[in-house]
Amino acid sequence: MNNVTRVVIGMVVAPSAAIAVYLHGLWAAHFLDLRATSEYCSAKPLASTATSAEWLPLRHRCRYADGTTTDLVSAHVNPVVFLCLAIAVACTAVALRSTRRLHRPRRS
């Protein structure tokens, strides 16, 4: 497999993997769940503001009456998403650099 193929695969596969892992995080952390919060945050009695959510980095926390919190998003989701995005940016930079080198006028 030559370098161009690797870069193109990195530009396509890495963002696709980031999107897939992000969507998995949304699903597994009950972001889109219509059930009552007490059904998926059932470990302890809930605080007055039962949950807090952030979209980037992906976080969905259950807040309990005793002051503790539990994050519903798996620990691997955010690092994998950001790693995939970094790979996609690096592959895009390599591709742009390669095309600039190919189209640069040669000096005699």
pLDDT tens digit sequence for 89-104: 999 888 888 877 767 6
For the chain, list residues with pLDDT below 50. Answer: none
Percent of the chain surpassing pLDDT 70? 94
What per-residue confidence (pLDDT) applies to 1? 66
What per-residue confidence (pLDDT) applies to 108? 59
Q: What are phi and psi of 41, to 5 degrees?
A: -120, 65
3 state SS of 58: coil
3 state SS of 20: helix
The structure tokens 């897939």 sit at 20
What per-residue confidence (pLDDT) applies to 26? 94
Whole-structure pTM value? 0.82
What per-residue confidence (pLDDT) applies to 43? 87
Omega within 30 of 0 (cis) for the link into 57: yes
3 state SS of 76: coil
For residue 2 the two structure tokens come to: 């030559």
